[in-house]
């Protein structure tokens, strides 16, 4: 079984600064423990849902925007036992490691030095992690180095489509994935550049030859939050026939051989 736990489902500046939805990214338990897009709150939320960040093996950061990378250094500290042992893998966009014209690097040299390996892959690269393999996928985002992935597992492929505009190539990269987790920031008729809307999700799923068993909407922006993402999910499901879920803090997806099951966890009391 592959177990995916969301430590938040918010995205965009206004949801992030208000924490109307938390912004911690998600955790994948496969043959290794992988943390994806540790935005603000990732460390605190990990403990809240009893996912010990000291047991992480891999951290994946799609791009250098703060709602995706804010907690990356502290998560590296957890993964490396307080930066005391050389351990773990970081897979990140070029902007995360090197910065760009408007952003400093998101990870200091101190933190890079305690990692066992660092990957700054281009789309099309393949990285083997335990029994799984990450195929790195492209995007069209305001951070042009943003990367997604298609994770090959024995239970089928799990795709992550982070912040991106809709473009036809998305279909080729993600067609046939069993589960798609996508940053669907905006509701119907309210699309903005460089992000997916409900309309884009419908367009993508309609055009897929092999549709996924399920779609999980994440990176909910303020407009989506108030438009009611559950209504948007229902719309996607009705129009495309693809089971569509809305992520939230504590939402867990279990990808098993014969089914994809979901549940919502209760937070631990102590935090
Ligand atoms: Zn972004």
CA of 39 to the centre of ligand 1 (A): 11
- HSE of 105, CA atoms in CB hemisphere, 13 A: 12
CA of 230 to the centre of ligand 1 (A): 22
Region of 204 on the Ramachandran plot (φ > 0 left; ψ -120 to 50 alpha; else beta) = alpha
| 164 belongs to a structural domain | yes
CA of 61 to the centre of ligand 1 (A): 11
**What is the structure's pLDDT at 191?**
87
**What is the structure's pLDDT at 142?**
96
- HSE of 84, CA atoms in CB hemisphere, 13 A: 4
Give dist(CA 91, CA 127) in Å, integer: 9
Q: How many domains does the chain have?
A: 1
CA of 85 to the centre of ligand 1 (A): 31
CA of 30 to the centre of ligand 1 (A): 26
CA of 118 to the centre of ligand 1 (A): 21
CATH number, domain with residue 226: 3.60.15.10
Give dist(CA 143, CA 93) in Å, integer: 9
Q: How confident is the model at residue 271 (pLDDT cuts 50, 70, 90)?
A: low
**What is the structure's pLDDT at 270?**
66
Give dist(CA 40, CA 134) in Å, integer: 24
pLDDT at residue 115 is higher than 80: yes
- Residues 141-167 have pLDDT tens digits of 999 999 999 999 999 999 999 999 999
| 184 belongs to a structural domain | yes
| 225 belongs to a structural domain | yes
CA of 164 to the centre of ligand 1 (A): 8
Residue 163: domain span: 2-264
CA of 173 to the centre of ligand 1 (A): 20
| 66 belongs to a structural domain | yes
CA of 219 to the centre of ligand 1 (A): 10
| 270 belongs to a structural domain | no
SS3 268: coil
Angle 16-22-26 from CA coordinates, rounded to 5°: 115
- Residues 96-113 have pLDDT tens digits of 999 999 999 999 999 999
CA of 206 to the centre of ligand 1 (A): 25
CA of 92 to the centre of ligand 1 (A): 14
- Residues 190-208 have pLDDT tens digits of 989 999 999 999 999 999 9
CA of 63 to the centre of ligand 1 (A): 7
CA of 247 to the centre of ligand 1 (A): 18
- Residues 212-254 have pLDDT tens digits of 999 999 999 999 999 999 999 999 999 999 999 999 999 999 9
Q: How confident is the model at residue 269 (pLDDT cuts 50, 70, 90)?
A: confident
Q: Are 204 and 173 in contact (CB under 8 A)?
A: no
CA of 53 to the centre of ligand 1 (A): 24
What are the residues whose beta carbons fall under 8 Å from the beta carbon of 69, sequence distance 6 or more?
A: 37, 38, 39, 61, 63, 92, 96, 106
Give dist(CA 199, CA 240) in Å, integer: 11
CA of 269 to the centre of ligand 1 (A): 32
Average pLDDT over residues 76-103: 98
SS3 109: helix
| 271 belongs to a structural domain | no
Share of residues in the chain with pLDDT > 90 (%): 97
Q: Are 115 and 80 in contact (CB under 8 A)?
A: yes
Average pLDDT over residues 34-55: 97
Share of residues in the chain with pLDDT > 70 (%): 99
CA of 197 to the centre of ligand 1 (A): 14
| 54 belongs to a structural domain | yes
* Average pLDDT value for the chain: 97
Q: How confident is the model at residue 135 (pLDDT cuts 50, 70, 90)?
A: very high
CA of 144 to the centre of ligand 1 (A): 10
**What is the structure's pLDDT at 20?**
97
| 269 belongs to a structural domain | no
């Amino acid at each position: 079984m592959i177990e995916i736990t969301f430590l938040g489902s918010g995205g965009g500046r206004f949801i992030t600064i208000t924490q109307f939805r938390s912004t911690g990214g998600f955790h994948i338990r496969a043959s290794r423990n992988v943390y994806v897009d540790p935005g603000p709150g990732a460390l605190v939320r990990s403990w809240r849902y009893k996912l010990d960040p000291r047991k992480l093996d891999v951290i994946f950061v799609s791009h250098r925007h703060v709602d995706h990378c804010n907690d990356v250094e502290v998560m590296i500290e957890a993964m490396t036992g307080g930066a005391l042992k050389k351990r773990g893998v970081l897979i990140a966009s070029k902007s995360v490691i090197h910065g760009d014209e408007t952003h400093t690097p998101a990870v200091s040299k101190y933190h890079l030095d305690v990692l066992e390996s660092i990957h700054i892959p281009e789309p099309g690269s393949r990285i083997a992690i335990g029994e799984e393999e990450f195929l790195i996928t492209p995007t069209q985002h305001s951070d042009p180095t943003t990367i997604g992935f298609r994770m090959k597992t024995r239970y089928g492929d799990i795709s992550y489509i982070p912040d991106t505009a809709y473009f036809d190539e998305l279909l080729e990269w993600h067609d046939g994935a069993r589960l798609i987790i996508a940053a669907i920031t905006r509701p119907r008729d309210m699309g903005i550049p460089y992000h997916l809307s409900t309309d884009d999700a419908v367009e993508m799923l309609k055009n897929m030859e092999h549709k996924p068993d399920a779609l999980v909407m994440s990176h909910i922006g303020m407009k989506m939050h108030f438009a009611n993402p559950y209504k948007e999910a229902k719309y996607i499901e009705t129009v495309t026939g693809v089971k569509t879920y809305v992520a939230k803090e504590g939402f867990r997806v279990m990808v098993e051989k014969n089914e994809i099951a979901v549940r919502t966890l209760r937070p631990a009391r102590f935090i």
